[in-house]
Amino acid sequence: MSPAARTLLLSGARRRRFSTETPSSPPQKQQRLPKGKRWDAVVIGGGHNGLAAAAYLARAGRSVAVLERRGVIGGAAVSESDLVPGFRFSRCSYLLSLLRPALIRELELERHGLKLLPRSPSSFTPCLDGRYLLLGPDAELNHSEISKFSKNDAQAYPRWYEEKLEKFCKLMDFVIDSPPPELRHEYHLSMVDRMKDKVDKSVFWSKLLGIVMQQGQKDMVDFFDLLLSPASKILNNWFEGDVLKATLATDAVIGAMAGVHTPGSGYVLLHHVMGETGGQRGVWAYVEGGMGSVSSAISKAALEAGVEILTNAEVSQISVHHTSGRVQGVVLADGTEVLTSVVLSNATPYRTFVDLVHANVLPDNFLSAIKTADYSSATTKINVAVDRLPQFSCCKDFNPEGGPEHMGTIHIGSESMEEIDRAYREAANGVSSTRPVIEMTIPSVLDKTISPPGQHVINLFVQYTPYKLSDGSWQDSNVRKSFAERCFSLIDEYAPGFSSSVVGYDMLTPPDLEREFGLTGGNIFHGAMGLDSLFLMRPAKGWSDYRTPVKGLYLCGSGAHPGGGVMGAPGRNAASVVLEDLRTK
């Protein structure tokens, strides 16, 4: 977007900068791929999953090119420093926990510069009545804090977390790190290959059955109850305190156009606690230098393995042979043809099959499933630069360098599940929430590389904002400014003076996320994470193993199993399927 589209305000002699639209990427020297070269594989999209897939393929000896539309790699896991001078923002994703331990180990990401900054405490919920709730990896802290609201909840919390969630996460680890046991569609496979495929599927189901048997019938019933139930039912069964339940419930709705009473929101809750940092389950961390450091580390592993990465290279078409139905390569927006018989798309399923592939090469039922999938979004990301830390009224002691209340995720407007549900119902009717649900993080308290001394970077992950407003448009600068100010005013209720501390900000509504980052509908997961869109149903029934109806075309992004979040599992798993197919071929 042009600089003219940005709103600039002055406060006294100090210049404050507010960007409600997306700035243009800085001009970069145009790179070129070797002319006429035929690649073993081409990856569309330089997000973390695409880079991971490329790295694994190249480490197996394959020639791989990654084509990224923007001028910077990383997709939604990206750091950008041209939004407000002197500040470096994690533009979209902002925390790390789901990145698979096997990927970190196998690609040696720490050697390539990945440095995690664990948070303790990890959660802070301020209340307007002067109380607050801190939670984190410290069991004694949790007991003390929850006891302020309910002695019963303080006793129940460790059982809820350890006996239930951690157990279920261990079951999910195997499923996440494995390609789904999809039935193969290729009828040309030899008898040997068909038998091997059947054995592989049997091995998967046998291992899964073994894990299930270890859980026991009662735990499995509880597991399916968690998957199928609304988060409100699960949390009401365990706890009595509104503040604790609301704090936990935010993990069940974050990034989703869903409320706490939506069936299946219990799985989203599980999805957000099944990661780890440094071997500690459920702990989320900041990344030094911002989330772009994750993509940078993976790209270094890929480059070391021989991958060619091209930025400012938008793919306009996937070429498919008209008789064989096999991929021939891709065509860039400038007309350049890149030849390959294997393409991995890190784009959303909608973008891949509706925009890049001709409809006549896809089965009607498959294309219909892709088009009618749920890509709705309720998320707006506001990246804020401030000249001082917020001072919360409920905290008597204030440390200008950062206290426990500044370390983790700060839950604003989340004092009860009813408050969250009310905000959701407004968005379901096309109205941006009157009192938005805000997850606020301040990474610069731990990461001193992303802001000037004494000043700070603040991430606001805001819900609920519908893609299409019933009254007005996100294209209207007044509508955008009004919503940002609404968020700042809500924070003022808990931390007076926050609005006056804002030096500048950048706001990404669902349409902005779609336009700038290719996230269909603005959905950060490349598609809803409902139970009808997971495992053997993702992205469409019958096509869950990263293969697609187009021979040689694979999905490797969050629209494939196991779904969204900065985890790298779709890219890692997809690469293993591609290598298996190349060996068979």
Residues (pLDDT < 50) of the chain are 1-30
Q: Could you tell me if residue 197 is inside a domain?
A: no
Whether residue 473 is contained in a domain is answered as: no
- 3-state SS, 142-210, equals HHHHHHCCCHHHHHHHHHHHHHHHHHHHHHHHHHHCCCCCCCCCCCCCCHHHHHHHHHHHHHHHHHHHH
* Tokens describing residue 562: 């196991």
Q: Is residue 244 part of a domain?
A: no
Q: Are strands 308-310 and 280-281 parallel, antiparallel or unpaired?
A: unpaired
Q: Is residue 216 part of a domain?
A: no
Domain assignment present for residue 68? The answer is yes
In a domain, 529, yes or no: yes
Assign residue 577 the CATH number of its domain.
Answer: 3.50.50.60
φ, ψ of residue 252 to 5 degrees: the values are -85, -15
Distance CA(265)–CA(110), nearest Å, equals 34
In a domain, 502, yes or no: no
Q: 64-67 and 308-310 as β-strands: parallel, antiparallel, unpaired? A: parallel
Task: Annotate 70-118 with DSSP letters as a single string.
Answer: SSSSBTTS-EE-SSSTT--EE-S---BS-S-HHHHHHTTTTTTT--EEE
Count of the separate structural domains present in the chain: 1
Domain of residue 67, residue span: 49-72+99-114+291-373+521-584
The Cα–Cα gap between 338 and 308 comes to 12
> What token pair was written down for 310?
């091209």
Of 221, 223, 511, nearest to 376 (Cα)?
511
Is residue 552 in some structural domain?
yes
Residues 6+ away with beta carbon under 8 Å from 353? 362, 366, 367, 370, 548
Strands 379-386 and 456-463, bridge-based pairing: antiparallel
Chain centroid to CA 573: 17
Alpha-carbon distance 68 to 70, whole Å? 6
Give the pLDDT score at 191. 79
Least Cα distance to 257 among 467, 520, 460, 435 occurs for 467
Q: What is the pLDDT of residue 200?
A: 85
Q: Give me 38's structure tokens.
A: 């035929």
The predicted model scores a pTM of 0.92
- The pLDDT assigned to 170 comes to 77
Tokens 């940002």 belong to 484
Mean pLDDT of the chain: 91
Cα separations (Å) of 460 from 20, 89, 213, 505, 575? 14, 11, 42, 10, 34
pLDDT at 16 (0 to 100): 38
